[in-house]
Amino acid sequence: MKRRQIAILGSTGSIGTQALQVIEEHPDLYEVYCLTANNRVELLAEQARRYHPAAVVIANDARYDELRLLLADLPDVKVYAGADALCQIVEAEPIDMVLTAMVGFAGLRPTIHAIKAGKRIALANKETLVVAGELILQLAQQYHVDILPVDSEHSAIFQSLVGEDQNAIDKILLTASGGPFRLLTTEQMARVTKADALRHPTWDMGAKITIDSATMMNKGFEVIEAKWLFGVDAHQIEVLVHPQSIVHSAVQFQDGSVKAQLGVPDMRLPIQYALSFPRRLTLSGERLDLFAAQKLEFFKPDLEKFRCLALAFEAIKAGGNMPCIMNAANEVVNRAFLEDRCSFPQMADVIAATMQRATFSATPDYDVYVETDAEARRIATSLLNSKS
Ligand code: NAD
Ligand code: MG
């Protein structure tokens, strides 16, 4: 059987490197066609040596010469640079599937190119759906492209829906670990540092999503992601804080039946399922031991303490480009927090104020999203500068 050709956008990150581990477990089924990164040329070059892709792309042009030099002895690996090159490479004829594992708004444009080229999408880059879920779903339908979720919660929902095509979803139960600050008071949360926020209790992820998990903005994003992927209204999505991260999410049907997917927290499983669907393949690693899993707890989220989650529900309600505004402001404050230019509570303040000030559009198209993203970044940046 012909091996499926995979392109990985963001191969040097947390999801990207775990995807390569999955592919390595199934060399008979998958082949890496293309690897891309933003800045980490050494790791990208190392990956190119190991997986022999047809092409590599470094998004930051300034690192192009370095990467060319590192791969000078591998003439079969084509080397490209720049954001436009990402959009071109995903259209390459041999590619069957594109795994979008890059961070942030930057993932939107290459994802659109991949869909228009008819490539199956394994979607990790949730910001794409937060910003432009309606557009992405419409394009996927128009170009007959499947979007397979990589996010663990959405994979759990997707797995719970297998065989249920005729049956309406009553409710989605979206679980959240609650992050490292679940038990802190608002006063204590005002003083947390980035080191505290980067210590996630159950998942080892990239820095941006780890901060988003600490503010619970990540869960807000996931509500939006679920709304688009599964065609439900926000009021049908309930967030449950589940500190053990064993129940990865669940679906309730009209007869009251609830189907969930459980497992140890290991992103390789949802990554692999997105690649192999509808098949399940072997996967090395720990198995869930329910006897050892002490207890499974569920709590309601505290929307006053975790204001970012409340803001996400507001953004959904407003619709249009409001989630795009929220996402852009969040990217600005998330980066600022990681660079010690913004306190923990200030993140929600700046996002809320940006949502008030940026130009609202009820019926955005791609160009509006791009303008909105730029405007909201400008506003959030100036708010940050004026406060510090
Ligand atoms: P990461 O920071 O570990 O890796 C990001 C990757 O994207 C790197 O390879 C980096 O080089 C590349 N990249 C970053 N900015 C880029 C840009 N402007 N242009 C091109 N490439 C760029 O991030 P991650 O934790 O792997 O997360 C990737 C995506 O997957 C995010 O959207 C995140 O929300 C989502 N996600 C991650 C996890 C997880 O467990 N890490 C779980 C669910 C969803
Ligand atoms: Mg998740």
pLDDT tens for 318-339 read 999 999 999 999 999 999 999 9
294 has pLDDT over 80:
no
267 Cβ below 6 A of ligand 1: yes
Angle between helices 366-387 and 322-338 (to 10 degrees): 40
What's the pLDDT score for residue 388? 58
Please list, in sequence order, all residues whose beta carbon lies within 8 angstroms of the beta carbon of residue 340, skipping any fewer than 6 positions away. 194
Which of 241, 369, 354, 256 is CA-nearest to residue 302? Answer: 241
For ion ligand 2, residues whose CB falls within 5 Å: 151-153
User: Which amino acid would we find at residue 12?
Assistant: T
Tens digit of pLDDT for each residue in 346-379? 999 999 999 999 999 999 999 999 999 999 999 9
Residue 202: pLDDT over 90: no
Who's near 145: CB < 8 A, 6+ residues apart? 115, 118, 119, 120, 121, 139
Query: Sorting pLDDT into bands at 50, 70 and 90, what band is 18?
Result: very high
**Ligand 1 close to Cβ of residue 203 (< 6 A):** yes
Q: What is the structure's pLDDT at 200?
A: 87
Averaged pLDDT for residues 126-151 = 98
pLDDT digits (tens, 9 = 90+) for 85-100: 999 999 999 999 999 9
Mean pLDDT of the chain: 97
Q: Tell me the percentage of the chain whose pLDDT exceeds 70.
A: 99
Cβ-proximal residues to 338 (8 Å cutoff; 6+ apart), any chain: 194, 207, 208, 211
For residue 223, the ligand closest to its alpha carbon is 2
> What amino acid occupies position 17?
T
Give, using CA atoms, the residue closest to atom 36 of ligand 1. 124
Residues 304, 258: Cα–Cα separation, whole Å: 29
211: CA distance to ligand 2 center in Å? 13
Please give the pLDDT value at position 247.
98
Closest CA to 334 of 86, 127, 123: 127
Mean pLDDT of 201-228: 96
Q: How far is the CA of 164 from the centre of ligand 1 (A)?
A: 31
Nearest CA to 280 out of 267, 293, 292, 269 is that of 269
User: What is the radius of gyration, based on Cα positions, of the chain?
Assistant: 20
Are 223 and 153 contacting, i.e. CB atoms less than 8 angstroms apart?
A: no
Closest ligand to C-alpha of residue 38 is 1
DSSP 205: -
- Torsion sign (Cα): 209, 133, 159, 262: positive
Average pLDDT over residues 57-69: 98
Q: Is the pLDDT of residue 288 over 90?
A: yes
